Amino acid sequence: MNAKDINALARKTKEASRRLALLDTKTKDRALVAMSAALKSRASYIMRENEKDIALARKRGLSSAMIDRLTLTRQRITSMAGSLAQVARLKDPVGDTIETIKRPNGLLIKKVRVPIGVILMIYESRPNVTSDCIGLCLKSSNAIILRGGSEAIRSNIAIFNVLDKEAVKYDIPQGAISMIKETDRKIVDGLLAQEGVIDLVIPRGGESLIRDVSKKSRIPVIKHYKGVCHTYVDASANLKMAEKISFNAKVQRPGVCNAMETLLVDKKIAKAFLPPMIRRFKNAGVEIRGSKEVKKIVKDVRLATENDWYTEYLDLTLSIKVVDGVDEAIRHIMKYGSYHSDAIVARDSSRAAKFLNEVDSACVYLNASTRFTDGEEFGKGAEMGISTDKIHARGPMGLEELTSYKYIIYGNGQLRR
Amino acid sequence: MNAKDINALARKTKEASRRLALLDTKTKDRALVAMSAALKSRASYIMRENEKDIALARKRGLSSAMIDRLTLTRQRITSMAGSLAQVARLKDPVGDTIETIKRPNGLLIKKVRVPIGVILMIYESRPNVTSDCIGLCLKSSNAIILRGGSEAIRSNIAIFNVLDKEAVKYDIPQGAISMIKETDRKIVDGLLAQEGVIDLVIPRGGESLIRDVSKKSRIPVIKHYKGVCHTYVDASANLKMAEKISFNAKVQRPGVCNAMETLLVDKKIAKAFLPPMIRRFKNAGVEIRGSKEVKKIVKDVRLATENDWYTEYLDLTLSIKVVDGVDEAIRHIMKYGSYHSDAIVARDSSRAAKFLNEVDSACVYLNASTRFTDGEEFGKGAEMGISTDKIHARGPMGLEELTSYKYIIYGNGQLRR
């Protein structure tokens, strides 16, 4: 694809987005249900294509964790189909009146939800992202251009082929869903220059991919670079609960952005809390990197470096620091964190309120695991991604976050004085 | 200011924004009322400084329209003070719960409004923007860095001095409001590189300024490039009403972004509507540039070029085109418009609904002048600017549009399975 092809694709998608914006909910839902069924009935074809990606990944020596993420089993395809059916059942946000303003001069102003337009999704590895994002965009009447990672290209194309064919059969405008099938990196640069045609870019994947997209894009980008999530155990905490929450936040699935990377412990309860906690972590294979104060209490841990506090391990590794109460915990999180998801475990309500109020993260938790930062867990059905930005959307992005709004003003001859 | 100074200023402002975010509404309102009073009591000082800007503007040969925009009379200062007092009376959006989600596992999720953080305002000419934006940012607990145009530098500094001194006296954190007092352009480039410290950039002024800022910024930008606003007169319109609305939209204040630039007239009523309409425009000194069909009906008009349809005249000049019904009107607006404010005058409700639904502009009007696109006219008290973007804010930006949100999640030991 050269620059002209890219512009033509973007314009064609914009055209389709105009027609998609006018589609009624029933038509969209019917298409989603049919697409869900098609995924299941074409599972063998998708798995065959997926096997080719996996074979290449093995040849390239990708880690077993990476290969696991890439792999599509029949069960995983069924779950993708389930997500599409679930999105069909969610409320359509398009056309919702957000606010009605009546003015003294008789003007009636309605603030109404509309689709954003054309969304460019740039992502890596997990092929289920392909169907999740197609589903959310279709339901919110946004046209989508998908650009997946080369490691999953055959799987992504297979999923796209099945879904797009079905969508068009069920009256979704041709071109509303499209996929870049070439892996040339220059195509991404070309797409990121389509300001005014593509309306929003959502990158999902490793930090370097996201930084690269943000740097080059002339189009608004919504993203999170990384998730350095904290759990702070206050002196007032139920220590048994704190242990369970911390363990869950680190160990239940360490390779994801909402997993805990740093545990902060109030010095008043550090001696009581840390020995059994660290023992439990070690039994689960977690490597601990502790501050000096941690090492004084549990000798057998590696000393954390300054850099560790900034690090998203995405693995069974954990930084632990002893802090002097909630104020130092907040300062630490604001300095080293990534404003993604941070938790306090406490019974003292004023210290809890201080933490929830002053930690400027997308999601702040009281007495729960940070692992809940997720579109489905928030009741949004699925998610396009998670944002740590302050503009437009923050936290898990579902259907509503894929809308903009317009003002419709009804008059009867009003003139400005 | 060198790069280090700029970064230090941005970081200091971020620090102040953290404290400002925690301020209660009463403190903010008390400060705003005092700042409003100070503007009035220091009016003579502000006018003296303003005279120096005007003297220089005359020397530079600026147009009388430009000089008028620059000029601060006692009445204009009183009106600026009135806006600040008005903002003090508006509802504080910070802390509002937008949505409450209860999950089956017992998690209680609250979506709560928070300030955006640090806002960089880059603007030209009218010095009232200085006090309007300070007022809106303070009320919504956002710290602000102001960078006004060199033509109004002394006026802006005077207004800033008066307001900042008063704010600090009334417990607004030092550094929450700051102004760039040097006119070196490189400072703007330095500010636009402060990604992660400055949260949002709002440019207001000429199109070239805004394009330059958007191109260079690594920080999210909300803006409108220009306002090529249309009025479409449908065959079903009350022609007397259509004439009044069109005249108001063009003539009442031609130099602003929500003034009409192009009039579209349904061919079915063109012969009845155009002759008296054009006569009225000409009597008011409006130069007409018409399509061939317009010239057939009223000979004495200049033929419009293709480029005229794209042009924001900001002056007493108007493009007029005869179109074949609402569909051609919509196509014209989507091709040549700027997605700012567009109106239909019609009695036929299905054609009106089609127009309001399909014209993808920030504000779409039925039977009213486009001149109402304005924060105050929408009941928002004042405005930080008008957005034609789809991301975060669209149309006039008031207090709510200056907020982000965070999720606060209350648990009692929930773990992810």
The count of other CB atoms within 10 Å of the CB of residue B110 is 16
B214 touches A: beta carbon within 8 Å: yes
Question: Mean of the pLDDT values across residues A163-180?
Answer: 97
Examine the domain organization and report whether B194 and B321 are in the same domain.
no
Helices B25-41/B153-169 angle, 10° precision: 130
Examine the domain organization and report whether A257 and A173 are in the same domain.
no
CB A110 within 8 A of CB A7: no
Examine the domain organization and report whether A84 and A156 are in the same domain.
yes
A window 291-350, beta carbon within 8 A of B:
334
Examine the domain organization and report whether A57 and A138 are in the same domain.
yes
The count of other CB atoms within 10 Å of the CB of residue A94 is 22
- Helix then strand count (H, E) for chain B reads 14, 16
Distance from CA of A291 to the nearest CA of B (A): 26
How does residue B153 score in pLDDT terms, banded at 50, 70 and 90?
A: very high
Which of chain A's residues have a Cβ under 8 Å away from the Cβ of B366? 408-411
Report pLDDT for B63.
86
How does residue A69 score in pLDDT terms, banded at 50, 70 and 90?
A: confident
Residue type for position B377 = E
Report pLDDT for B66.
85
pTM: 0.95
Report pLDDT for B217.
92
Report pLDDT for A355.
98
Gap between the Cα atoms of A167 and A161, Å rounded = 10
Which distant-in-sequence residues (6+ apart) come within 8 Å of A159 by Cβ?
A: A39, A46, A80, A127, A130, A131
CATH code of the domain in which A298 resides? 3.40.309.10
Q: Where are the beta strands (DSSP E) in A72-226?
A: 97-102, 108-115, 118-123, 143-147, 177-179, 200-204
How does residue B381 score in pLDDT terms, banded at 50, 70 and 90?
A: confident
A21 touches B: beta carbon within 8 Å: yes
Cβ–Cβ gap A358/B392 under 8 Å: no
Examine the domain organization and report whether A259 and A219 are in the same domain.
no
Gap between the Cα atoms of A373 and A368, Å rounded = 11
> Between A369, A378, A404, which is nearest B414 by CB?
A369
Question: Mean of the pLDDT values across residues A202-226?
Answer: 93
A125 has a pLDDT exceeding 80 = no
Residue B252, domain member (yes or no): yes
Report pLDDT for A65.
80
Which of chain A's residues have a Cβ under 8 Å away from the Cβ of B18? 334, 358, 360
B388 touches A: beta carbon within 8 Å: no
Report pLDDT for B65.
80
Report pLDDT for B332.
98
Examine the domain organization and report whether B237 and B93 are in the same domain.
no
Report pLDDT for B230.
98
CATH code of the domain in which B134 resides? 3.40.605.10
Chain segment B71-124, per-residue pLDDT in tens = 999 999 999 999 999 999 999 999 999 999 999 999 999 999 999 999 999 999
Cβ–Cβ gap A416/B389 under 8 Å: no
Residue B380, domain member (yes or no): no
B366 touches A: beta carbon within 8 Å: yes
Residue type for position B83 = S
Chain segment B386-400, per-residue pLDDT in tens = 999 999 999 999 999
Examine the domain organization and report whether A215 and A235 are in the same domain.
no
Cβ–Cβ gap B358/A18 under 8 Å: yes
What total number of domains does chain B contain?
2
Report pLDDT for A356.
98
Report pLDDT for B303.
98
Gap between the Cα atoms of A316 and A281, Å rounded = 9
A68 has a pLDDT exceeding 90 = no
> Between A18, A372, A411, which is nearest B365 by CB?
A411
Question: Mean of the pLDDT values across residues A197-212?
Answer: 94
Task: Count the residues in chain A.
Answer: 417
Percent of chain B clearing pLDDT 70 (strictly above): 100
Chain segment A238-288, per-residue pLDDT in tens = 999 999 999 999 999 998 999 999 999 999 999 999 999 999 999 999 999
Residue A377, domain member (yes or no): no
Residue B378, domain member (yes or no): no
CB A106 within 8 A of CB A413: no
A244 touches B: beta carbon within 8 Å: yes
Examine the domain organization and report whether B278 and B352 are in the same domain.
yes
Examine the domain organization and report whether A61 and A82 are in the same domain.
yes
Examine the domain organization and report whether B27 and B114 are in the same domain.
yes
Cβ–Cβ gap B407/A378 under 8 Å: yes
B125 has a pLDDT exceeding 80 = no
Residue A7, domain member (yes or no): yes
Categorise residue B385: left if φ over 0, alpha if ψ from -120 to 50, beta otherwise.
left
Domain that holds residue A293: 229-372
Cβ–Cβ gap B368/A200 under 8 Å: no
Cβ–Cβ gap B409/A365 under 8 Å: yes
Report pLDDT for A223.
93
B239 touches A: beta carbon within 8 Å: no
**Over chain B, what is the mean pLDDT?**
96
Chain segment B165-189, per-residue pLDDT in tens = 999 999 999 999 999 999 898 999 9
Place of tokens 């279709």: A138
B361 touches A: beta carbon within 8 Å: yes
Residue B237, domain member (yes or no): yes
Which of chain A's residues have a Cβ under 8 Å away from the Cβ of B199? 390-391
Question: Mean of the pLDDT values across residues B44-51?
Answer: 98
Which of chain B's residues have a Cβ under 8 Å away from the Cβ of A334? 18
A window 111-150, beta carbon within 8 A of B:
114, 116-117
Examine the domain organization and report whether A206 and A238 are in the same domain.
no
CB B17 within 8 A of CB B142: yes
Cβ–Cβ gap A391/B392 under 8 Å: yes
3-state secondary structure of B407: strand
The count of other CB atoms within 10 Å of the CB of residue B168 is 15
Residue B54, domain member (yes or no): yes
- Pick the range with the lowest mean pLDDT from A56-70, A144-158, A402-416: A56-70
Helices A128-139/A153-169 angle, 10° precision: 30
Examine the domain organization and report whether B181 and B53 are in the same domain.
yes
Chain segment A25-42, per-residue pLDDT in tens = 999 999 999 999 999 999
Which distant-in-sequence residues (6+ apart) come within 8 Å of A26 by Cβ?
A: none
B274 has a pLDDT exceeding 80 = yes
> Between B214, B220, B244, which is nearest A415 by CB?
B244
A64 has a pLDDT exceeding 90 = no
Cβ–Cβ gap A409/B117 under 8 Å: no
Residue A165, domain member (yes or no): yes
3-state secondary structure of B376: coil
